[in-house]
Amino acid sequence: MTLDVVPVELGSRSYEVRIGPGLIDAAGAQILPLLRRRKVAVVTDETVARLHLDRLLAALAAEGIEASALTLPAGESTKGWAEFARTTEWLLEQKIERRDMVVAFGGGVIGDLVGFAAAVLRRGVRFVQIPTTLLSQVDSSVGGKTGINTAQGKNLVGAFHQPTLVLADIDVLGSLPGRDFLAGYGEVVKYGLLGDATFFDWLESNASAMAGDAGLRQYAVRRSVEMKAGIVSRDETEEGERALLNLGHTFCHALEKATGYSDRLLHGEGVAIGCALAFELSQRLGLCAQEAPSRVRAHLRAMGCKVDLKDIPGDLPDAETLLALMGQDKKVIDGQLRFILARGIGEAFVASDVPGDVVKNLLAEALAG
Ligand SMILES: NC(=O)c1ccc[n+]([C@@H]2O[C@H](COP(=O)([O-])OP(=O)(O)OC[C@H]3O[C@@H](n4cnc5c(N)ncnc54)[C@H](O)[C@@H]3O)[C@@H](O)[C@H]2O)c1
Ligand SMILES: [Zn+2]
C-alpha cells in the first residue's frame, strides 16, 4: 500500500496531508526535514499515550530528534481553559521557541487544543497534526480551525492556525473503539452527501468492509481529506463554501446541547442523525426527491450508525426547545436560521430562509417516531 499525499493549497501556508500505513513509525523521518533544530514537544492524551506514544517517541529518537511529551486526560472536558493553560505553560517550560515544532498526537480534542496553544504561543509556533481517530483524520486535523470550549459553549474561543504537516496513520485506527470509528464515519458520509455522489455510491458498496480493510479505509480517508482540502483552500475562513461542511451540524449542535455534550451522543453520531434530518427537511421543502433521504437513512442504518432521534438514549426536549437550541448556534447570521440543504445526494447548498415551522414539524414527528 502506498502513501497518499493530499495538498492543502493556501499560498505560503500550504501543507500536505500524508495518509497511509506505518506513518507513526516513520514520523521522525517525515518531520525531520521541517525542523530547524532536532527538538519537538509532543502533546497527547492518556489513552493514545498508553497505546501508541512509545512508538512515536522511538520514531523521533531514531532520527535524533529530542522529544518531550505531555499527557493530558482523555475526553472532551480536556478542551478547556485549565488544560489549555497547563499546555501553553508546559510548552514554555520546554523552551519551545518560534522556530520549534509542536506535535499534536491524538483525536480532535488534542488537535484543537494543541493547535490553539501553538497559535498563541510566542504569537505562533508551527505544529504537526498526527490525528489518531477517524474523525480527526478526515476532519479536524485539516483546515486550521483550532480552539477550546468555555462555559458559554463549544469552540467559542480559538484561532485559525494551519498545521505544517498532517500525518494520518491508517493503522492507528485499528485500536479505536467501534463506537468512535462509527462516529467518525458520520463525517465521512457527510463529504459524499455534500458534494460527491460518486463517493457516496462507493461508500454504499464498500464502507461496511472498511473497519477490517486498511486499503478501503485509506481510500475513504483520502477522498474525505481531498474534499475538505479543496473547500478549505477555496474558502479558508468560511465566508461561503466552507459552510457546506456544516451539513447536518445545525441539528447536531442542538442535539449535543440537549444531551449535555455527554456520552449519550458523540459528535459524529449527531452528524449522522443531522444529515438524515437535513435530507428529510430538503425533501419536505420540495428541494429533492424522496429517494435521497431514503438512501441516506438506509445506508446509515446498514452501517450501524445512529439515524433517528430514538437512537439517542434518554429523554429529549420537545421540538420547540430543540428549535430554540438551533437558534443559538454560532452559525446564525442576523437571527436567521441557516441550514445546509440539498437538491440531491452530493448537491448541498446554504439556505438562509428556512421556515421555522417546517423544521419544528419535522422535529416533532421525528421525536414521536
Ligand atoms: N477543528 C475542526 O475543524 C474540528 C472538526 C470536527 C471536530 N472537531 C472537534 O474534535 C473533537 C472530537 O474529536 P474526536 O472524535 O477525535 O474525539 P477525541 O479526541 O476525544 O477522541 C475520542 C476518544 O478516542 C480516544 N482515542 C484517540 N485515538 C485513539 C486510538 N487510535 N485508539 C484508541 N483510542 C483512541 C481518545 O483518547 C478519546 O477518548 C471535538 O472537540 C470537536 O469539536 C474539530
Ligand atoms: Zn463535525
Query: Following DSSP, what letter does each residue of 226-284 receive, concatenated?
Result: HHHHHHHHH-TT-SSGGGGGGTTHHHHHHHHHHTTTSTTS-HHHHHHHHHHHHHHHHHH
Q: Which three cell numbers stand for residue 338?
A: 441557516
- Ligand 1 atom nearest 47 alpha carbon: 37
Q: Is the Cβ atom of 253 under 6 angstroms away from ligand 1? A: no
55 and 192 both lie in a single domain: no
Question: Where residue 260 sits, what CATH number does that domain have?
Answer: 1.20.1090.10
Domain termination residue (choose one: 158, 175, 192)? 175
Using the predicted structure, report yes or no on whether residue 4 has a pLDDT greater than 80. yes
Q: How many CA atoms lie within 13 A of 140 on its CB side?
A: 27
Domain co-membership, 190 together with 165? no
CA-derived radius of gyration, the chain? 20
Query: Do 203 and 161 lie in a common domain?
Result: no
Confidence bin at 226 (pLDDT 50/70/90): very high
Residue 203's pLDDT band, with cuts at 50, 70 and 90, is: very high
**What average pLDDT score do residues 242-257 get?**
95
The pLDDT tens digits for 337-354 are: 789 999 999 999 999 888
357 with 239, same domain: the answer is yes
- pLDDT tens, residue by residue, 78-121: 999 999 999 999 999 999 999 999 999 999 999 999 999 999 99
Q: Which ligand has an atom closest to residue 133 CA?
A: 1
> Which ligand is closest to the CA of 176, given by its number?
1
CA of 149 to the centre of ligand 1 (A): 14
Q: Are residues 109 and 198 in the same domain?
A: no
**Which of the listed residues 157, 175, 193 is the one where a domain comes to its end?**
175
* Atom 42, ligand 1: residue with shortest CA distance: 108
Confidence at 355, pLDDT banded by 50, 70, 90? confident
Q: What end-to-end distance do the CA atoms of the chain give, in Å?
A: 45
Tens of pLDDT, residues 135-167: 999 999 999 999 999 998 889 999 999 999 999
Look at strands 15-20 and 4-8 and give their pairing.
antiparallel
Is the pLDDT score of 328 beyond 80? no
What is the structure's pLDDT at 212? Answer: 87
Asked if residue 191 has pLDDT above 60, the reply is yes
Atom of ligand 1 minimally distant from the CA of 109: 19
CATH number for 76: 3.40.50.1970
User: Looking at the structure, do residues 273 and 191 belong to the same domain, yes or no?
Assistant: yes
pLDDT at 331 over 80: no
pLDDT of residue 193: 98
Residue 95 is among the residues annotated as catalytic for this protein: no
Residue 66 CB partners (closer than 8 Å, separation 6+): 38, 39, 40
125 in a known ligand binding site: no
Residue that terminates a domain, selected from 175, 204, 222: 175
Which distant-in-sequence residues (6+ apart) come within 8 Å of 367 by Cβ? 309, 316, 318, 319, 322
Q: Whose CA is nearest to atom 13 of ligand 1?
A: 108
321 to each of 96, 254, 315, 325, how far by Cα in Å? 47, 9, 13, 6
Average pLDDT over residues 30-44: 97
Contact 315, 332 (CB under 8 A): no
In a shared domain, residues 197 and 96? no
> Per the structure block, which three cell numbers stand in for 275?
444529515
Nearest protein CA to atom 12 of ligand 1, as residue: 108
Question: What phi and psi values does residue 231 have, to the nearest 5 degrees?
Answer: -65, -45
**Total of domains in the chain:** 2
Of 26-35, 43-52, 215-224, 322-331, minimum mean pLDDT range: 322-331
Statement to judge: residues 144 and 187 lie in one domain: no
Could you give the CA distance from residue 59 to residue 67 in angstroms, rounded to a whole number? 10
- The whole-number pLDDT of residue 334 equals 53
φ, ψ for residue 83 (rounded to 5)?
A: -75, -25
Q: Say whether both 225 and 291 belong to one domain.
A: yes
Asked if 145 is an active-site residue, the reply is: yes
Do 232 and 337 reside in the same domain of the chain? yes
Residue 328, CA distances (Å) to 37, 285, 333, 356 in order: 46, 23, 10, 14
What counts of helices (H) and strands (E) characterise the chain?
Answer: 14, 11
Q: Are residues 184 and 168 in the same domain?
A: no
**pLDDT over 70 at 336, yes or no:** no
Q: Which ligand is in closest contact with the Cα of 147?
A: 1
Are residue 168 and residue 188 in the same domain, yes or no?
no
Is the pTM higher than 0.85? The answer reads yes
Domain of residue 92, residue span: 4-175
Mean pLDDT of the residues in the chain: 95
pLDDT tens readout for residues 62-88: 999 999 999 999 999 999 999 999 999
